[in-house]
Amino acid sequence: MFGREKIEYKTPEQVSCMRRAGLVVAAALRAVEDAAAAGLTTADLDAVAAAVIADAGATASFLGYEGFPATVCVSVNDAVIHGIPGGRVLADGDLVSVDCGAIVDGWHADAAVSFVVGGEAAADPRDLALIRATDDAMWAGVAALASGERLSAVANAVDDSITDAAERDGARYGIVEDYVGHGIGTAMHQPPDVLNYRTRERGAKIRPGMCLAVEPMVTRGDQLTHVCEDDWTVVSSDGSRAAHWEHTVAILEDGLWVLTAEDGGAARLAALGVEIAPV
């Protein structure tokens, strides 16, 4: 099961288990985004996700992970990732990122979304542009898995997409470098790292059987971050707002399958010239 780099390569049957977990994650994130409204707390959103996961007979990946006390991470405005749900009351215009993981039959899936409370009418247009830029960059990274030889293809695609978006939007976007994507399977975090920024590293060779979480985190300012006193919440050091998108992707003999997208990634990847290949 493990290659020379201790990467866990999955069989089609195991990928199918991860797909079941991925659909639970997709349902939980959809429910949270639908429920989000001014006046609710971040703990209320956590309860929504917890109910969806429990009703599906799945287990939350995050709850208890290295002591994390909640089902999902809810990160608001300048919080990039790992926000602990609690008493914070949401307001229209807040930029919220929600990260969720679920386990089915011992197999994990992991995804994240970003949205604005109150929708477009309540949003700062610069936040909407950031959300779109980060989402587009994630899909560019996913699509790169279809034709790239090594994981540097993902990093380069994400970096290039953000660079193009910044020019298009007339904005400054910072790709967070302190946290990256990862392998996933029988554990939530596994080798290999999946970078979101261009480096000289070529990364692991892309091979069938890999399952990877592709997850760019981008700010409306500098890429530097720091961890808050709760030892979990990561915020932008310059106070700029941040967005986070993530999908779990399986690389199969015949192509890609986005395990945490309800349509397997078909619509977004088709726009990028890539067809999905579900088991």
Determine the 3-state secondary structure of 204 from DSSP: coil
User: Exposed, middle or buried, 171 (CB in 10 Å: 0-12/13-18/19+)?
Assistant: middle
pLDDT in tens, the chain (279 residues): 444 569 999 999 999 999 999 999 999 999 999 999 999 999 999 999 999 999 999 999 999 999 999 999 999 999 999 999 999 999 999 999 999 999 999 999 999 999 999 999 999 999 999 999 999 999 999 999 999 999 999 999 999 999 999 999 999 999 999 999 999 999 999 999 999 999 999 999 999 999 999 999 999 999 999 999 999 999 999 999 999 999 999 999 999 999 999 999 999 999 999 999 999
User: What single DSSP character describes residue 2?
Assistant: B
| Structure-token pair, residue 226 | 């720091």
| Structure-token pair, residue 194 | 């999946």
- CATH number for 12-270 (one of 3.90.220.20, 3.90.230.10, 3.40.50.2300, 3.40.50.300): it is 3.90.230.10
Neighbours of 97 (CB within 10 A): 27
Q: What is the pLDDT at residue 270?
A: 98
Which residues, in sequence order, are CB contacts of 102 under 8 Å at separation 6+? Answer: 21, 22, 24, 25, 28, 53, 56, 58, 59, 60, 61, 108, 109
Backbone region of residue 203 per phi and psi (left: phi > 0; alpha: psi in -120 to 50; beta: other values): left
Cα–chain center distance at 158: 13
User: What single DSSP character describes residue 205?
Assistant: B
Q: Are 80 and 234 in contact (CB under 8 A)?
A: yes
Q: What is the pLDDT at residue 5?
A: 62
Q: What is the pLDDT at residue 2?
A: 42
What's at 243, amino acid-wise? A
Domain borders along the chain are 12-270
Interhelix angle 42-55/12-35, rounded to 10 degrees, is 140
